[in-house]
Amino acid sequence: MALYEKREKFEGIALAIGRIASKLPFTPNQITLLSLIVAIISAYFLINRDFLVAALSFLIASLLDFVDGAVARATNKATKIGAYLDTIADRYVEGLMLVAMLFLPFPKIFFEAKIWIFAVLFGSLLTTYAKAAAKEKGLVAEGELKGGLLERSERVALLFVGIAAAAISINYLLYVLIFLAIVTNISALQRILLSLIHI
């Protein structure tokens, strides 16, 4: 079951975190920008093969991505611009981590690692775009198209696990990338088919 299906259970927790985090001297949009900066730091450590620090900073960036929306809702400062910036930052954070992985000395498993990395990036972007395009073309209404084997929250969790596990063996991170390459593209196809079913 995807985490989005349990989102209501997290709403109370999110609001509580938002109220606490709202005491910090940052606006929701500044927290979004901070998550991007931390992701750049994480990518730097990843390129330099300091996997534990990279995993920790990636985790912080992901938590900040959660906190910005929680603060916006808790303080009634949620805006369309904020939601848009948050979505764009999400894509940059994910993309930065994958680009950083191009510099790692992965072994070849069926294909060169860069092919798997590209497939993950392609699948992740297409999963998001399939939903956006379906709404733009009027195939589905707002909030109708959800689901798929893997949502962004699950992708981020798996990337974190893979990066941390790379401290033991870089092969573990490659196994995660191969899994993500396959499943993210299946998720994208699921959303495309669901959009067509709504016609």
pLDDT tens across 163-176, in order? 999 999 999 999 99
Supply the pLDDT for residue 163: 94
Tell me the whole-structure pTM to 2 decimals: 0.79
Q: Are 133 and 190 in contact (CB under 8 A)?
A: no
Please determine, for residue 65, whether its predicted confidence score (pLDDT) is greater than 90. no
**What is residue 30's predicted lDDT score, i.e. its pLDDT?**
79
- Nearest CA-CA partner of 57 in 168, 159, 173: 159
**Res 117: pLDDT:** 94
Nearest to 24 by CA among 56, 70, 55: 70
DSSP summary character for residue 109 = B
Residue 2 · residue 186 · CB < 8 Å? no
**pLDDT band for position 132 (50/70/90)?**
confident
Mean pLDDT along residues 180-198: 82
How much is the mean pLDDT over the chain?
80
Cα(34)–Cα(53) distance, integer angstroms: 17
